[in-house]
Structure 1
Amino acid sequence: MSFRYDPFDPAVMADPPAYYRVLREQYPVYYLEQWDTYALSRFADIWKVLEVNDGTFVASEGTLPSAAVLAAHNDGPVPDPPLHPLPFHANFDAPLYDEVRRATATPFRPRKIAALATRIRELANERLDVLLPRGHFDLTAEYAGIVAASVVCDLVGLPTDLAGDVLATVNAGSLAEPGSGVEVADARPGYLDHLIPVVARRRAGEGDEVPIADNLLGYRLPDGAALTDHEAAVQMLGVFIGGTETVPKIVAHGLWELSSRPDQLAAVTEDVAATVPIAREEMIRYCAPAQWFARTLRRPFTLHGITIRPGQRIISLIASANRDEREYPAPDDFVWNRPIERLLAFGRGQHFCLGSHLARLEITIMVTEWLRRVPEFHVDAARASRPPSSFQWGWNSIPVEVG
């Protein structure tokens, strides 16, 4: 009876896996009375819920609602937000969500992603050329973070010399005051300061093509209205935030895990072309920083004998699913060649991560180029840091020394 889980509790987010183990074992559908929300912790349950795309679960209150949003309990289904001004499209159900997602999807089709390999490899080696002579630097922020942010800059029409600013802006946006969580994406103006000028330039026909911005400018809402510069920029936030925030933490943390297991590191470095794509999947499972995503019910749904009512919410604890003993034997162990048949780190169903192919390519290339050029490295664990957040548990800083 003394157990209590709350993602907005700093004590929980200091060590979420310990709480997830209890949830999976004893409380697979855990009710958070203060937020009128149920937390799901088992892989199979989350897999089942996320495959339901019939309007039962919607993100009309946001995929990462703050404590202020969850504190207001709903008396029945919550409708989609108003069209004007248009918030982030993930807050809508089909068909608007699907239409805007398609407008932003052009650069993420598999063939276009494959064509980015040379550019990503070039960016990775440019960073290593700068960093390796220094002997010590930050693996997350200065290597993987700058490479990933540079790729995002290319995709959204920003010069790559802004990569450091983009990375800092996104990392600052994921921080949270204890007990509050983060605000919804379109309430973070620092992001839009980068993106609105891009949309304005493309509306004026200036500069090179930016397929994401160009497609959004050509999109029309159900009432026939075009998007404003602000509204179009808001729809680009998924690429801007997701592409910048997640990959660097997986790359840096994954390399740290390998370095702390010399036998595994030796096995992976024997033939990086063959082994890194396998190790990459374990890095994603073990190191992905996102902890949960929320949905609000529009229809009753029953799980483990508990019926969740319209207007109530669920949070799918993706990070708990990634450590579920029922899906992965010895899940708290990092095993570079672990067989992984299913993975939830990129979500599932309607909201499956648009950038999953790009993320896998970036991780593969950054890890490969690192192992190819850095035969020895040591992580300064005492100086590594995980800033407070209600929805992610990722290493923003991993200092490293290279031999």
Structure 2
Amino acid sequence: MTIAAPSYDADFYSDEFIRNPWPHYERMRELGSVVWMPQHENYALTRYEALESALRDHETFISGKGIAADARGNELTLGIRNGAASDGERHALIRSVTSEPLLPRALEDVRASIESAADELVDAFVDKGEFNLMEKFASYMPLSIVTKLVGFPDFGRDNMLRWASAAFDLVGVQNARGSAAVEVFAEMRQFLMNEIRPENLIPGSWSRRIFDMVEAGKLPPEDTLVAIRNYVTPSLETTISAIGQLVYRLGKNPDQWALLQQKPELVRGAVNEAMRIGTPARSLARHTSRAVEVDGITIPENARVMMVFASANRDARVFPDPDRFDVTRPPRRHLSFGRGIHMCIGVHLAELEMSSLLNAILARVKEIRVGEPTMILNNTLYSFATLPAQFIS
């Protein structure tokens, strides 16, 4: 007997939902592991175990038909041979080529420069009064270091953050934000097609390396720009969001800050707890390659399924007292980076940036003070637009 999925009639991409999503996620989880979102004609996976299982089952929950939450978004993003929206051997090849400089052993080459930049950044704000942490602090490392590692010419470096934000709007739905993102996304596409040539890239950069791999016969020429584009979207906005969450949660939870001061070995736990409780990418979609049963609900073939990472990361079945920021939770249990073959390639870089910043704060700051944040309104991202903060020595 086929049981229909319970329905949750809310606009996942409305301003109201984005500003305060947590009560929605709780109600969705209460309905079940699978809910039907009638306003978007999507299924949604809301609980941890169901979502983790689906992320690992890449043959059933496929990315090759697009990862946006509506048909138009998938049509637009697939039109440029999207590497993230791919499956099988092609996905494995693109991932192996793009992920190599982001693996832990490769990042050791840039660890010293990242740690030095973190030290200098924290020094600049200690005892200097209130500042907007998102603008002046959280964005500094991704924009000053990561953009150079990607290796674009000046116009590309100056616009990477804007392009990444537009891409996250586009893989939601084509509401006003999604529609406005189309033009920005087209600008990025034209830049990649017209300006990305070996001679325009920083020697030794990640993007220049892709051309070397093509020349060596390790990547098809038609996937050159696809591989390079994979460095644009995931390497900036999500890390900026997570840095904002990390400082905000430590400022709002002085007991956890005190514990971290006593036990700096918990830095990795604090970093990952910020990723869990703030979950930078709320949801990305998959399509079913076959009918599949999830906790008694049959999802039909070729259905669009929203992977609601932010909901699963607050599932009390896995995370006791899930709304509490707790730096002692097991690191990396959360699903913010995904699971399986599509797990975010930037996971190690994000952890390195955030851990370096937190170690620098621990060495210099006695008290973190934060005010009330304002939210960025983005279809996919959950991030602060502003966050008043002070670092007191």
TM-score by length of 1: 0.83
Q: Where does residue 3 of structure 2 map in the other structure?
A: none
Deviations 1:20-48 (A, max 9, x none): 11111113211123433200100000011
For 1:25-44, list aligned pairs within 5 A: 25-44=30-49
Letter in 2 for 1:50: L
Alpha-carbon spacing, 1:313–1:99, altered in 2? closer, same or farther (3 Å) = same
1:385 to 2:381 alignment: no
Q: Distance in 1 between matches of 2:303 and 2:31?
A: 21
SS state at 1:334 partner: coil
Q: Distance in 2 between matches of 1:355 and 1:99?
A: 17
Q: Where does residue 77 of structure 1 map in the other structure?
A: none
1:208 to 2:226 alignment: no
Q: What's the RMSD between the two structures over aligned residues?
A: 3.3
For 1:110-149, list aligned pairs within 5 A: 110-132=104-126, 134-149=128-143
Q: Distance in 2 between matches of 1:357 and 1:320?
A: 23
1:153–1:159 CA contact under 8 A, matched in 2 = no
Deviations 1:157-191 (A, max 9, x none): 14799866544553465458984563799971444
Deviations 1:218-267 (A, max 9, x none): 439x9x9623xxx6344323322211111122122211111112222111
Percent of aligned positions with the same letter in both sequences?
25
5+ residue gaps in structure 2?
Answer: 1-5
1:7 to 2:12 alignment: yes
Q: Distance in 1 between matches of 2:127 and 2:152?
A: 28
5+ residue gaps in structure 1?
Answer: 73-79
1:199 to 2:196 alignment: yes
Q: Where does residue 251 of structure 1 map in the other structure?
A: 243
180-189 vs 231-240, greater mean Cα deviation: 180-189
Q: Where does residue 64 of structure 1 map in the other structure?
A: 68
1:282–1:334 CA contact under 8 A, matched in 2 = yes
Q: Distance in 2 between matches of 1:186 and 1:344?
A: 31
Give the drift of 1:14: 2.4
TM-score by length of 2: 0.85
Give the drift of 1:283: 1.4
2:118–2:357 CA contact under 8 A, matched in 1 = yes
- Which one of 237, 240, 245 corresponds to residue 232 of structure 2? 240
Alpha-carbon spacing, 1:284–1:169, altered in 2? closer, same or farther (3 Å) = same
Q: Distance in 1 between matches of 2:205 and 2:355?
A: 25
Q: Distance in 2 between matches of 1:237 and 1:106?
A: 15
Deviations 1:73-101 (A, max 9, x none): xxxxxxx96xxx74211222211111112
SS state at 1:367 partner: helix
Q: Distance in 2 between matches of 1:18 and 1:253?
A: 19
Q: Distance in 2 between matches of 1:180 and 1:123?
A: 38
143-152 vs 342-351, greater mean Cα deviation: 143-152
1:152–1:239 CA contact under 8 A, matched in 2 = no
Give the drift of 1:132: 4.0
Q: Distance in 2 between matches of 1:226 and 1:165?
A: 25
1:88–1:234 CA contact under 8 A, matched in 2 = yes
Letter in 2 for 1:101: R
Q: Distance in 1 between matches of 2:233 and 2:349?
A: 14
For 1:154-193, list aligned pairs within 5 A: 154-158=148-152, 165-171=159-165, 174=168, 179=175, 182=178, 188-192=185-189
Q: Distance in 1 between matches of 2:246 and 2:92?
A: 33
Deviations 1:338-392 (A, max 9, x none): 24572211101120111111111111111111232222332121xx221212222
Alpha-carbon spacing, 1:240–1:265, altered in 2? closer, same or farther (3 Å) = same
Q: Distance in 1 between matches of 2:22 and 2:43?
A: 18
1:39–1:314 CA contact under 8 A, matched in 2 = yes
